[in-house]
């Protein structure tokens, strides 16, 4: 492949999610917004039903971000069906060395969301993927903290959101949780880009840097 094509290669971040009533879909859209902010990154959105029917659509993705509501202390059954379907990928190793991350949303502040994020991280490990954490300090845990803080729910493994059960997706999850989801999308896109560029073939001194500089790429 010519050098220009290799360096111009778009990085693809896929978001695979389930949402029963629209709240986690809002969070998924926020993840997409964050990832899409990084120049040279395209975002592929698939519901877990769609992804389950066409797993090969994800073969070209450099990163896959898993998202589901927490139902009964675990990822929703619909998302679990997608997880089970990835046993085909387990067999072929097709997603090995892709970047992975996750997000979840539930009614309670904890609501046992950690169990869902842990499920996602284990899924990624079984598939040989590289898990990316949220990368934020915990918010709203001091006397000057507030509900507006990024990562107000204090998760590290992935992005968490909380949606009051009596509010529709037009009101929940709140802006701080959507900004936290945007942060995750942005972080995963950057990591995926670094990872893809790290695999570029070695170039004579300065050639690769010149290409990146001409593209205005942040190093």
Answer for which of 107, 114, 138, 200 binds ligand FMN (CB under 6 A) is: 107
Judged by CB under 6 A, the stretch of 16-24, 52-60, 119-127, 186-194 that binds ligand FMN is 16-24
Answer for which of 73, 93, 145, 175 binds ligand FMN (CB under 6 A) is: 73
Decide if residue 49 touches ligand FMN (CB under 6 A): no
Comparing CB distances to ligand FMN, the nearer of 112 and 147 is 112
**Cβ neighbours of 80 (radius 10 Å):** 17
- Give dist(CA 86, CA 96) in Å, integer: 12
CB of 187 to ligand FMN, least distance (A): 22
Decide if residue 48 touches ligand FMN (CB under 6 A): no
Decide if residue 165 touches ligand FMN (CB under 6 A): yes
Residue 112, both tokens: 């046992």
Judged by CB under 6 A, the stretch of 91-99, 108-116, 131-139, 211-219 that binds ligand FMN is 108-116
Answer for which of 47, 48, 86, 106 binds ligand FMN (CB under 6 A) is: 106
CB of 78 to ligand FMN, least distance (A): 9
Judged by CB under 6 A, the stretch of 3-11, 15-23, 50-58, 186-194 that binds ligand FMN is 15-23
DSSP string of the chain, one letter each residue = --HHHHHHPPEEEEEEE--SSSHHHHHHHHHHHHHHTSTTEEEEEEEHHHHHH-GGGGTT-SEEEEEEEEETTEE-HHHHHHHHHTHHHHHHTTTTT-EEEEEEEESSSSTTHHHHHHHHHHHHHHTT-EE--------S-STT--TTSTTTT--SSSEEEE--TTS-TTT-S-HHHHHHHHHHHHHHHHHHHHHHHHTSPP-STTHHHHHHHHTT---
Decide if residue 23 touches ligand FMN (CB under 6 A): yes
Decide if residue 24 touches ligand FMN (CB under 6 A): yes
Residues that bind ligand FMN (CB under 6 A): 19-24, 69-73, 105-108, 111-112, 163, 165
């Amino acid at each position: 492949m010519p050098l220009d094509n290799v360096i111009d290669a778009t990085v693809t971040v896929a978001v695979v999610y389930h949402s029963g009533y629209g709240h986690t879909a809002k969070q998924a859209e926020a993840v997409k917004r964050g990832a899409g902010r990084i120049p040279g990154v395209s975002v592929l959105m698939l519901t877990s039903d769609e992804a389950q029917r066409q797993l090969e659509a994800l073969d070209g993705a450099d990163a896959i971000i898993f998202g589901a509501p927490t139902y009964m202390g675990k990822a929703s059954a619909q998302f679990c069906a997608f997880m089970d379907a990835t046993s085909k990928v387990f067999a072929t190793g097709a997603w090995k060395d892709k970047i992975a991350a996750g997000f979840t949303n539930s009614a309670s502040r904890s609501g046992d969301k950690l169990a869902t994020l842990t499920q996602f991280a284990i899924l990624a490990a079984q598939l040989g993927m590289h898990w990316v954490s949220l990368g934020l300090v915990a918010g709203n845990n001091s006397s000057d903290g507030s509900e507006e803080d990024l990562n107000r729910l204090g998760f590290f493994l992935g992005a968490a959101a909380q949606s009051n059960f009596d509010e529709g997706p037009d009101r929940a999850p709140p802006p701080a949780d959507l900004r936290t989801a945007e942060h995750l999308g942005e972080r995963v896109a950057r990591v995926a880009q670094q990872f893809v560029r790290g695999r570029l073939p070695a170039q004579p001194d300065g050639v690769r840097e010149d290409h990146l500089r001409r593209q205005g790429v942040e190093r």
